[in-house]
Structure 1
């Protein structure tokens, strides 16, 4: 994979050519990029645990709620479904992160 250089820029040898498919640094970017995959993995893991537990809790509340209670069983069911969607999204994110780490 080669990178294009800006017109008029020169490569590391000073001859205007690229060397080993890399371009010359042009600014203050770091020489070694740092990945946020570790933080993303931790956040996705926490989200999976929290929202999977919330899904179960809201599902149980939906089946056992009283008709005159603070929330109806439909509202608890909607919250359970919403938390379930977030939990599934966390699983998909963890799967993508697992694939990228290999």
Structure 2
């Protein structure tokens, strides 16, 4: 059943986002180190910025995971706010 407010109530699989962001963070940090060692400062800065963005995203994901079922619903929690009453 669609309620019409799915974009507002959209939920993402936070554990998958956590794993993918962690993977990206590892590669971005590795790229930063590797490019800095070979003297490619522009690419090192770009990877550093990407690592910073990934770290901030990781912090937000961890915060949402710690908020509980509102952000990380279980199987018994519906993915939308159920309608109460008749049609609008």
1:61 is aligned, of 22, 32, 38, to: 38
User: Take 1:52 and 1:36, find their aligned partners in 2: how far apart are those partners?
Assistant: 24
User: Take 1:39 and 1:52, find their aligned partners in 2: how far apart are those partners?
Assistant: 20
Please list, as runs of the form range in 1=range in 2, the aligned pairs for 1:86-101 lying within 5 A after superposition.
86-101=50-65
Q: Which deviations, in whole Å up to 9, do the C-alpha atoms of 1:50-69 show, x marking residues without a partner?
A: 1101100100101xxxxxxx
Q: How many residues align?
A: 61
Please list, as runs of the form range in 1=range in 2, the aligned pairs for 1:18-37 lying within 5 A after superposition.
25-26=1-2, 35-37=12-14
- Higher fraction of helix: 2
TM-score by length of 2: 0.61
Please list, as runs of the form range in 1=range in 2, the aligned pairs for 1:3-82 lying within 5 A after superposition.
25-26=1-2, 35-62=12-39, 76-82=40-46
User: Take 2:48 and 2:65, find their aligned partners in 1: how far apart are those partners?
Assistant: 26
Q: Which deviations, in whole Å up to 9, do the C-alpha atoms of 1:33-72 show, x marking residues without a partner?
A: 863211111110001101101100100101xxxxxxxxxx
For structure 2, the 5+ residue unaligned runs are: 67-88
Larger RCO (alpha carbons 8 Å, 6+ apart): 2
TM-score by length of 1: 0.54
